[in-house]
Amino acid sequence: MQRRELGKSGVRVAPIVLGGNVFGWTADEASSFAILDAFVDRGFDFVDTADVYSRWVAGNQGGESETIIGKWFAKSKKRDKVVLASKVGFEMGEGKKGLSAVYIREAIEASLKRLQTEYIDLYQSHTDDDSVPLEETLKAYDELINAGKVRLIGASNYKGARLAEALEVSKKAGLAAYVTLQPNYNLHTRQEYETDLAPVVAKYGLGVIPYFSLASGFLTGKYKTKDDVKGTRREPYLDKYFDERGEKILKALDAVSKETGEAQASIALAWLLAQPNIAGPIASATSTQQLESLFRAAELKLTDAQLKTLTDASAY
């Protein structure tokens, strides 16, 4: 398994990132522990979460995913085997959101407590906050890095112009700079990233860790038609993907799957890994069995012809 660098940070990670959004949501504590153990025991090391996971679930307050990971660290003693990423910015309660220096200082302490760790390897702005000067946000991160509470910083859900502006502010002010970008990017959702963000990524040498890498499960091949998701829990997430272009993508994935003998999920992730500057796509699992397609993706090398088949089918 060839490890990849997080931008120009010098930190190398396994090429698949385990998404922690399901912990405390569709994976209970016991299942989450088993998934984390299986992931790390296979030599993978990059785990992504956020303070807000999973606040959208009835009865949850946010922090559930971080809390489960923290309990797993305490039980497994595997903190030193994990490159841990978390995020700040989305609302965690009244007055608890954004990227002001005051709130970042408050949020990091809450995350560290839940995670039962002294530091976060990659702390990310979960969403842009144009109500706060970029320099204020970056200065707050710089202080956290100097204090040893954060090692690297990244951005998520930024537009290209704002991302470039933030990177220039860091450069001119001598502050910590974003080394990664976490965008919505997959075989179906390509246009915004490739046209707006990819040029900034290439110019500044960022590492990209795409979320929704499997388009909320659309690219796994589990659902063949829109009728397959009707009435299911996945319908609100998947309905938008079943357009004419989506059907072309599913046919291309099926063709490459038959040719390679690999699962469609592995193929979709392998396509992402073949794109420039991808450090590792994020994918979640609710069982240890689902991890196998993630592991296979890390080893799978698609041919030029197979990559072209997928790229052409998903053209926008």
Antiparallel, parallel or unpaired: β 150-156 and 178-182: parallel
Confidence of residue 223 (pLDDT cuts 50, 70, 90): confident
Q: What is the mean pLDDT of the chain?
A: 96
Catalytic residue among 53, 141, 178, 185: 53
**Mean pLDDT in residue range 191-202:** 98
Walk me through the domains of the chain, giving residue ranges and CATH numbers.
4-219+263-304 (3.20.20.100)
Q: Is the pLDDT of residue 294 over 90?
A: yes
Q: Is the pLDDT of residue 233 over 80?
A: no
> CA-to-CA distance for 10 and 24, rounded, in angstroms?
32
- Catalytic residue at 178? no
213-to-176, 219, 256, 282 alpha-carbon distances in Å: 28, 8, 18, 6
Residue 229's pLDDT is: 82
Report the candidate in 270, 181, 260 with the shortest Cα–Cα distance to residue 219.
270
Q: What is the pTM of this model?
A: 0.96
pLDDT in tens, 139-190: 999 999 999 999 999 999 999 999 999 999 999 999 999 999 999 999 999 9
Residue 108's pLDDT is: 98
Residue 169's pLDDT is: 98
